[in-house]
Amino acid sequence: MLPNVISKTITLEDGREIIIETGALAKQADGAVVVRMGKAMLLATVVSKKEAGEGVDFLPMSVDYQEKFAASGKIPGGFLKREGRLSDYEILISRIVDRAIRPIFPDDYHADTQIAITLMSADADVLPDCLAGLAASAALAVSDIPFNGPISEVRVAKIDGQLVINPTPTQLEKASLEFIVAGSEEYILMVEGEADEISEDEMVEAMQLAHEEIKRHCQVQKELTKAVGKEVKREYNHEKSDPALYEKMHAELYQKCYDVVSKQIANKSERSDLIKAIKEGFIESLGEEHEFESSLIGPYFSKIHKEAARNLTLDEKKRLDGRKLDEVRPIWSVVDYLPSAHGSAVFTRGETQSVTTCTLGTKMDEQMIDGAMISGYNKFFLHYNFPGFSTGEVKPNRGPGRREVGHGNLAMRALKKVLPKDDENPYTIRIVSDILESNGSSSMATVCAGSLALMDAGIQIKAPVTGIAMGMISDAKTGKYSILSDILGDEDHLGDMDFKVTGTEKGITACQMDLKVEGLDYNVLKEALYQAKEGRLHILREITKTLSAPKPDLKPHTPRSFIMTILKELIGAVIGPGGKVIQEIQKDTGATIVIEEKDNAGKINIFSNDQDSMNAAISRIKGIVAQPEIGETYTGKVKNIMPFGAFVEFMPGKDGLLHISEIKWERLENMEGVLEPGEEIQVKLIDVDKKTGKFKLSRKVLLPKPEKTDN
């Protein structure tokens, strides 16, 4: 019996359709949908336990987005030939969905929840990442899991001056801005993307258009929920409560917390110790035997502390560390800090510090990408490391987590917009940011340090990039709000918005925004963007005191590059049989040589730390690719002696026949004792056979012609 499939269709302005289906696949999950667009198909499932774990006071949710290689007719590379751990790209999409979905769950819902989104079928003209959030929300919409949705995600791009929703990959190549925007019918939840130095108004315009499309997606999901009969969600009770305890704690501790935050202590550890002492004092005052629920003391105290800190900012316009709302913490920076690195910088802002290196490599150092949808090579990548000691914690080093991948990607997006074009930059560039201290926005410190490291390395970027993290504390009842520049870690925790913006003096290059509050007004958003601009420009003025423009040359120990273009037909001559020729050149000169066919020609990149080595390699290659000219004289080396003459290598890789009749003016009966293998002689190219291409040489024409004598 065929399943009862229920489907709904979303039609985009250009006529393309997004179809949401449920009822055919994965029916044992709490919710499952298939989202189609063209040939692309995503399966999204959600499963959530009925009860919360003991003592859990948060939402333990995981979101995994995975692209099956079979979806695009490919077999995975590597030894195992199967999908393994999520790639960085899949992790980034998982994070985007997580950041959009997590805020729509009720605050008191704490059951283990898992959302899985799988690309089952690919379409070269459809980017599936912008459908993942819609698929996840639709799976929740057809389940009985409580959530305050629906939501959706779209990609918005400006192409040839026009804003486009969910563009094709070909269209996206020409985009001047590209954002993935998530939201509900009422408000924006998440924004992430990059741009070519755009204005703040352009960014808001793009977000508004995206939100209009999102509203339509949400309406269709509501229709789907009604069609499957899932309007009523499951009942749950995941939180204990003790009103008497909360009232007692609030009465005794609120003012104490307010007094501590009012001191506006800049040092994070000192401030934390004073707050911790209040909590410990209260626990001691209760004694060992008391009538209250002990497990609630921690959550209730955090709530009271958060309320006190928020009210300080809303009522008195004061911040935890004593700064003004738009004030950036003190900054210091240096470049060329690590003498052996190709480029390095230290950037410190308040209690956040990044040591960043820039390493330049050859084409052979490019990163190979083997994905279901994306394959190829990447010549610019940025790695971000966040060790435990940066926050004074003990944490085992288990490799980069999702947070590290996400922060590194944001910084990479910010910086790649100012790099030289590929045809102007022969190098593979790796940026590594090691966070040595952290108290707010280490990803933005990475952007600043990365700019300095690139300029220190001598990479001719268009302009330095800086970044700032913005926050907001608001009260919907009173309408009060405060926008905070360069937020602390504590301000990020207690605030309603985390908004990171990067850019040059000219405009925005990347952004990442997460909202924790409903109904952010676009005028408030504009105010935050323009306040962020002032902060970015202030940081820019500070770092340019250290280094204002790229250094004119590379470091002495950085590999130099020389680019040559040769005829396509000569690529084989440079490589030689089995790579023999190019390997000999590299061995003899010490240079690294990369050759490829591009634009119907041979492109040769020569890398070397030594100029003499570089010159020797260039000379050898020029000798191979130089075209012999009839009438030119060459110094050749005798390779083989034959009865009818000798074969002479007169140019690298080019042999010609020196016939016995062309050696001397005098007639030679045989070759015995005339020439020796390895002997160097002067020869002239006198002809090239038009049919065979063989070279004919002469030595005698370079010798004086003997005068005739009378007998």
For 424, the token pair is 């102007």
Percentage of the chain exceeding pLDDT 90: 62
CB 269 within 8 A of CB 351: no
| Alpha helices by DSSP H, 229-267 | 243-262
Does the pLDDT value for residue 55 go beyond 50? yes
Q: Degrees (nearest 5) of the Cα angle 456, 459, 465?
A: 75
pLDDT band (50, 70, 90) for residue 519: low
pLDDT band (50, 70, 90) for residue 711: very low
CB 579 within 8 A of CB 531: no
pTM for the complete prediction?
0.85
Percentage of the chain exceeding pLDDT 70: 99
The predicted pLDDT at position 413 comes to: 96
Report whether 242 belongs to an annotated binding site: no
72-85 per-position pLDDT tens digit: 999 988 788 888 88
What is the Cα–Cα distance from 363 to 256, expressed in whole angstroms? 61
> What sign does the dihedral 446-447-453-457 (CA atoms) show?
positive
Same fold, 560-625 and 632-702: no
pLDDT band (50, 70, 90) for residue 708: low
pLDDT band (50, 70, 90) for residue 689: confident
For 535, the token pair is 């902060």
The predicted pLDDT at position 452 comes to: 98
Does the pLDDT value for residue 150 go beyond 90? yes
CB burial readout 301-323, b (16+ within 10 A) else e? beebbeebbbbbbbeeebbbbeb
Task: Return the CATH fold of 560-625.
Answer: Ribosomal Protein S8; Chain: A, domain 1 (3.30.1370)
The predicted pLDDT at position 463 comes to: 96
Report whether 88 belongs to an annotated binding site: no
Does the pLDDT value for residue 520 go beyond 90? no
Comparing 151-155, 387-391, 475-479, 617-621, which segment has the lowest mean pLDDT?
A: 475-479
Task: Looking at the structure, give the CATH architecture of the domain made up of residues 6-228.
Answer: 2-Layer Sandwich (3.30)
pLDDT band (50, 70, 90) for residue 710: low
What is the Cα–Cα distance from 212 to 188, expressed in whole angstroms? 10
Q: In sequence order, which residues have a C-beta less than 8 Å from that of residue 222 and are 6 or more positions away?
A: 141, 150
CB 444 within 8 A of CB 468: yes
Domains in the chain: boundaries? 6-228, 243-316, 331-546, 560-625, 632-702
CATH superfamily of 331-546: GHMP Kinase, N-terminal domain (3.30.230.70)
Query: Average pLDDT for residues 349-360, to the nearest whole number?
Result: 96
Q: Degrees (nearest 5) of the Cα angle 358, 386, 360?
A: 10
What CATH number does domain 632-702 carry, 3.40.1360.10, 2.40.50.140, 3.30.413.10, 3.30.565.10? Answer: 2.40.50.140
The predicted pLDDT at position 84 comes to: 84
Amino acid, res. 13: E
- Phi/psi for 403 (5° steps) reads -65, -45
Does the pLDDT value for residue 373 go beyond 60? yes
Nearest to 497 by CA among 523, 517, 476: 517
Does the pLDDT value for residue 368 go beyond 90? no
Q: Which residue has the higher pLDDT, 654 or 169?
A: 169
| Alpha helices by DSSP H, 41-128 | 88-101
What is the Cα–Cα distance from 577 to 487, expressed in whole angstroms? 61
Comparing 514-528, 666-680, 692-706, which segment has the lowest mean pLDDT?
A: 514-528
What is the Cα–Cα distance from 365 to 296, expressed in whole angstroms? 54
Comparing 280-294, 403-417, 557-571, 595-609, which segment has the lowest mean pLDDT?
A: 280-294
Does the pLDDT value for residue 677 go beyond 60? yes
The predicted pLDDT at position 709 comes to: 52
Strands of the sheet with 111-121, listed across from one edge: 6-11, 17-22, 31-37, 40-52, 111-121, 61-67
162-178 per-position pLDDT tens digit: 999 999 999 999 999 99
The mean of the pLDDT values for the chain is 91
Query: Average pLDDT for residues 561-572, to the nearest whole number?
Result: 87
Give Cα 60 to chain centroid, integer Å: 27
